[in-house]
């Protein structure tokens, strides 16, 4: 039996209601600029509330940059974009010490020139086009929310959120993120093409005099308060057990894993997947107006949480089996625990 309360306290429920209202306002403001992509926007909101980062994949021209900038504007967060290239150096991201003359004394002092990572919402465009050394500089800052240059550590302003993009088409001359570094992202979000009606609206908006800018509807301190509220959401024991069963069943070396898992999965998700799946499910539950996590929350978010943490075998790839196919099969086969028996 779990000692976790079944629901939030009255004060926490009031804070949760404010969170839902704020997120609805953010959605409305972003929708003034971005046509469609409601599921992507929702996943980005969940990631922010869960204090996570997103790895976003989609072909060029799907308004990924505009979407992130619109979110930053609606949340009153500072925004920076870095275009990752093969010659980008770690100092181009974090900043560097420069020699600057003091006009009053005439002496030359060492001054730290901050890089673009000193922002609250960072778009790392085409992160797989830069060498591993530069990738590591960004990923270290993502994990620690700190940057160390010349022996001095600088703390990044909260909330801090990174959205890194990858182009799934052009792979020549790229540096794929190692699995250990991909694991630092909460979600791997797939941005798909708009529907015909949505594309018609995009044409109308972008080829006329129409223009819209998201209005700020929430502040940074309010977002931090929302992040704290998410962690208070109770996790029922049967949902926790389902998360454990789902994640552990995707590990080919686990004694309880199915035979097809050992044949088609080369490397499975680690404990961080379980942690982040629970946090994301808590955030989704609040966005849906609930004060507890359900199995539906976990099932809905299993794909974006797990798809970048599972490495298929060569035989699975040769048979045309995608990682999403593997996750869907796991969702079908993992038994749902009965809450009454817990």
**Domain definitions of the chain by residue range:** 9-88+116-232, 233-335
Give the phi and the psi of residue 243 in degrees, each rounded to 5. Answer: -60, -45
Query: Which helix H or strand E contains 197, and what residues bound it?
Result: helix 196-206
Q: Does domain 233-335 have CATH number 3.40.50.720?
A: no
Give the phi and the psi of residue 277 in degrees, each rounded to 5. Answer: -65, -40
pLDDT, position 240: 93
Nearest to 71 by CA among 62, 63, 60: 63
Cis before 247 (ω within 30): no
Judging by DSSP bridges, how do beta strands 121-125 and 161-166 pair with one another?
parallel
Instruction: Give burial (CB, 10 Å; 0-12/13-18/19+) of 175.
Output: middle
Q: pLDDT 10s per residue in the chain (342 long)?
A: 444 556 667 777 777 787 788 888 888 888 888 777 788 888 998 998 898 999 988 877 777 888 888 888 888 888 889 998 888 888 888 888 788 777 777 777 777 788 889 988 899 888 888 888 888 888 888 888 888 887 888 888 888 999 988 877 666 667 788 777 788 899 999 888 888 888 888 888 778 777 777 778 888 888 888 888 888 888 999 999 999 999 999 999 888 888 888 999 998 898 999 999 999 999 999 888 888 899 999 999 999 999 999 989 998 888 888 999 999 999 999 888 765 544
Please, what CATH class does the domain formed by 9-88+116-232 belong to?
alpha beta
The answer to whether 241 and 337 are in contact (CB under 8 A) is yes
Distances (CA, A) of 341 to 7, 237, 338: 19, 10, 6
pLDDT, position 1: 42
pLDDT, position 223: 85
Nearest to 268 by CA among 311, 323, 298, 305: 311
């Amino acid at each position: 039996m779990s000692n976790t309360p079944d629901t939030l306290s009255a004060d926490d429920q009031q804070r949760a209601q404010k969170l839902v209202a704020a997120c609805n306002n953010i959605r409305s403001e972003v929708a003034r600029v971005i046509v469609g992509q409601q599921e992507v926007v929702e996943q980005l909101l969940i990631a922010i509330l869960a204090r996570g980062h997103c790895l976003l994949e989609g072909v060029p021209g799907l308004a990924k940059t505009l979407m992130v900038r619109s979110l930053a504007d609606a949340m009153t967060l500072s925004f920076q974009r870095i275009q990752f290239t093969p010659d980008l150096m770690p100092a181009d991201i974090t900043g560097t010490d420069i020699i600057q003359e003091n006009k009053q004394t005439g002496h030359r002092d060492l001054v730290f020139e901050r890089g673009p990572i000193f922002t609250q919402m960072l778009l790392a465009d085409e992160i797989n086009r830069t060498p591993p050394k530069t990738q590591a500089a960004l990923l270290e800052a993502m994990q620690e929310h700190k940057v160390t240059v010349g022996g001095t550590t600088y703390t990044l302003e909260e909330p801090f959120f990174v959205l890194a993009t990858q182009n799934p088409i052009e792979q020549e001359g790229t540096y794929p993120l190692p699995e250990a570094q991909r694991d630092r992202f909460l979600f791997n979000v797939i941005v798909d093409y708009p529907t015909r009606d949505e594309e018609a609206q995009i044409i109308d908006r972008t080829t006329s005099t129409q223009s819209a800018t998201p209005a700020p509807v929430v502040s940074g301190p309010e977002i931090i308060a929302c992040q704290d509220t998410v962690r208070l959401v109770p996790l029922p024991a049967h949902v926790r057990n389902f998360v454990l069963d789902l994640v552990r069943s995707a590990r080919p070396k686990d004694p309880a894993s199915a035979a097809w898992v050992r044949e088609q999965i080369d490397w499975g998700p680690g404990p961080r997947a379980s942690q982040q799946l629970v946090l994301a499910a808590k955030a989704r539950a609040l966005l849906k107006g609930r004060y507890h996590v359900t199995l539906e929350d976990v099932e809905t978010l299993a794909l974006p949480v797990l798809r970048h943490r599972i490495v298929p075998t060569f035989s699975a790839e040769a048979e045309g089996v995608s990682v999403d196919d593997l996750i869907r099969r796991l969702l079908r086969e993992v038994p749902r625990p009965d809450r009454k028996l817990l």
